Chain A
Amino acid sequence: MTGAVKRGAVLSTSGITMIFGGLTALSDVDFEVGRGSITALIGPNGAGKTTFFNCLTGIYRPSRGTMTFSPEEGREIQLRKLAPDRITYLGIARTFQNIRLFNNLTVLENVLIACHSRMRAGILGALLRDGKTVAEEKAMAEFSYRLLDRYGLAASANHLAKNLPYGAQRRLEIVRALATRPRLLLLDEPAAGLNIAETRELDELIRYIRDEEDLSVLLIEHDMSLVMSVSDRVFVLDYGVLIASGPPDEIRRDPKVVKAYLGED
């Protein structure tokens, strides 16, 4: 049953099918994210992109198909039956299309929460506050602070997340995902609601993350300029079916893609 991971792929799926009642949201999606690459998933609204993300992160369980995640060369994990928190623990982090920050908590706390699966302290540790727990808390607070610092959010560390401007909230969501120390980062429409300047910054940010954090990125995006500029490979989904895949230049000229987006003459 193991879906064969091609050499150098961090994630590959085969035959992913998701059926809600009578509606087939995804059918037989064969997909692949190269290790260290930036891969984009595009498609018109309702094509099933977010559903695909939800399958990958364990929020939905696909009706059929296999998903294989390879955090390191030579290590393969089947994702299909795992719970969302377990998948995060293994190294897949995501952001959400509609920002889902912990609004009434501070920016730093948002990041600290993401450190959860890298921490060990339990109830007893919390109550007794022994040396190990204190050291862990301190190390994680410092880690979170430095992470915020690196992405230009340190000055707002003690602000409530909901009080951040929109662009900073988007950025914080990405930083929060990074705090889980993923090997694969899934970004669900990171440019939604950003202006042109902010989108340009996002472009740089995504490359920066890929290089500095040494991970692979998979993004869903509607902003074609961003997709074409940032991604190494593009997959196109339409009505739950993968209709094209390839480098951005090829996709741009693909008649099927043009048809899906613009309709037929």
Chain B
Amino acid sequence: MTTVQTETAPPPASGSGGPSSGGPGGGVPESPGPDPAGAPEGRGGAAGHLARALAEFRAALLSAAWFSVLALPLVCFRVNAVSGGIDYLWARLPRLAALAFCATLAWRFLLRRLGFSRVRSAVAETAGPPPEGARGPGGSWLTLLDRAPAKRLLLAGAALLLLSVPFWTTPYVVTILITALIYITLGLGLNIVVGVAGLLNLGYAAFFAVGAYTFALLNQNFGMGFWICLPLGALSATLLGLLLGLPILRLSGDYLAIVTLGFAEIIRLVLVNVGFTNGPRGIRNIQPPTLFGADLNGAVKPLLVGHGLVHKDMDLNKVLVYFIILAIVALTVVCVYRLENSRLGRAWLALREDEVACQAMGINRVRTKLAAFALGSTWAGLAGVVFAAQISFINPQSFTFMLSVMVLSIVVLGGMGSIPGVMIGAAVLILLPEYLREYSDYRMLIFGLIMVLMMVFRPQGIIPSTRRVYIYRPEEHGDGGARPSTRNPDALDAGPGGAGQDGQAPAGVPGTAGGPPSPRGAR
């Protein structure tokens, strides 16, 4: 028998597939034009080298200039709190430009050494799966991260770093990291609705609010703890998602966006005006989570501080919240990844791409939309509970339209439908403003500028989503041991499948049609 193995795109550039199949000839069949960087490669000789060096030099110069312009307000303007004016630090600019120039040169050199000759590969290609055998040139810098060993190393490093954070930083860092992680959870949840299923939801803050208020109210009125309320908060947000989903199933596009926008406002106004939520004054003294009833700050903390393990001002309850939200993010990533690569996830993608065709494929539009809405809301509910536990005081002011916009920006900036993209997007939009607090006057200005530039120059986001690559790997027995292809010769003769092969091959691309489906399968 045969199997179809799946891997995430794109396949690692290293390995035996490289030289045998990934020659320049087989590279990037989808490329709209010939590989521009490929030409100088073949030219050789001193002239070629000089031309290439000049091109590199020019590219580095350009990026340095571009970077300087972008970083100008951040680096050269400083608000002087004493005089109330602005200090202009022009002397920093040349240094910055020189640094950017050197860094670009080094980076490009590194890429070249690693075999990625086209630094500026068309993103459409990268976003699409590289066809089998196209592992030579044609990668972008993102491909570096996708090489399996590098990826694993990076993941392990990141996990270690994040787990150790509370033991070598200040309480302030832990607090903003919790906020960032909450936004990552929100982003990943909204990503299901907006990025994967393509339903524009402008009212995501409402579900976040429902999660937070569920915990706050149950805690205030019934003394219920964090651990019981975590699933309850998620559940109530899910139910609300279903409730909202039902009437708006027939809507799509702009109409859906407006309805969700209005819905979020309704929820916020209810929270402001209804008696039991305590109106705009909000709910205070929400209990922090406990760990098996242990008094963390009383009993455990002196021990840890005594051994120099944590900062002396560290609130261990915060540390616990940090670990909880970290675990939630990890769980979310696994869940979202699995959902995306499932029958349901593909139905969402189909819904996003074309609603009519989606139904014609036998997909129940109502059920699929509802599932996306409800599941997306679940994570908002989870994040809401953690949010309430973190700051122990919530009021409707925390759940305005601005929050929905922020989460949506995270998803769009990071890359719609891309899990790492959303995480990077949240980190950029939440952490950078914290670390650049001295320039907080310009925060919205810079925010707007970044958004405009991103949408113009990289609309697919920081890390665009990649499609999963399926690799066909026939096993030894069965199909008469048909090596790489299992195409049935009879079918070839009888059917026009064979006749059509030449006609349907992407023009001028060798090895696309009729070639072995998987060079790796040949091993």
Q: A-side interface residues toward B, CB under 8 Å?
A: 57-59, 83-85, 88-89, 93-94, 96, 100-106, 108-109, 112-114, 116-117, 119, 121-123, 125-127, 129, 133, 136-138, 141-142, 145-146, 149-160, 163-165, 167-168, 171, 176-177, 180, 197-198, 201-202, 204-205, 208, 212
Contacts and interface: CB of A to CB of B under 8 A. Distances in A.
Interface stretch (B174-182, B316-324, B492-500): B492-500
Nearest to A182: B362
A190 to B, nearest CB: 13
Contact of B517 (A129, A149, A165): A149
Interface string B503-522: 11111000111110100000
Contacts of A96: 356-357, 360
Contact of B495 (A116, A136, A145, A212): A212
Given A158-B469, A159-B131, A205-B496, A127 B339 contact: yes
A153 B504 contact: yes
Question: 10 closest Cβ contacts across the A-B interface?
Answer: A117-B362, A126-B342, A204-B496, A88-B362, A102-B353, A168-B504, A84-B359, A100-B357, A141-B4, A160-B128
Interface of B: 2-4, 6, 9, 29-30, 128-132, 335, 338-339, 342-347, 349-350, 353-354, 356-365, 371, 375, 467-470, 472, 485-488, 491, 494-501, 503-507, 511-515, 517
B503 A89 contact: no
B343 A119 contact: yes
A180 B470 contact: no
B486 A146 contact: yes
B513 A155 contact: yes
B356 A100 contact: yes
A109 to B, nearest CB: 6
Nearest to A211: B494
Nearest to A111: B361
Given A96-B357, A105-B467, A157-B472, A152 B129 contact: no
A114 B375 contact: no
A176 B354 CA distance: 14
Given A121-B344, A141-B470, A156-B512, 5 more contacts: A58-B359, A84-B359, A149-B486, A167-B500, A197-B503
Contacts of A205: 495-497, 500
B361 A88 contact: yes
Contact of B362 (A116, A129, A142): A116
A176 B353 CA distance: 15
A-side interface mostly: helix
B245 to A, nearest CB: 14
Contact of B6 (A141, A155, A156): A141
Contact of A123 (B129, B361, B371): B371
A27 to B, nearest CB: 25
Nearest to A88: B362
A194 B452 CA distance: 41
A85 B342 contact: no
Contacts of A136: 343
A108 B491 CA distance: 20
Contact of A59 (B335, B343, B356): B356
Given A106-B129, A149-B485, A160-B128, A154 B335 contact: no
A137 B364 CA distance: 19
Contacts of A152: 497-498, 500-501, 504, 513-514
Contact of B375 (A103, A116, A123): A123
Contacts of A146: 486
B400 to A, nearest CB: 31
Given A116-B347, A127-B339, A152-B498, A105 B513 contact: no
A142 B363 CA distance: 20
B504 A165 contact: yes
A117 to B, nearest CB: 3
Nearest to A168: B504
B494 A85 contact: no
Nearest to B517: A154
Contacts of A123: 339, 344, 371, 375
A258 B9 CA distance: 55
A260 B129 CA distance: 48
Contacts of B344: 121-123, 126
Contact of A167 (B358, B364, B503): B503
A150 B489 CA distance: 10
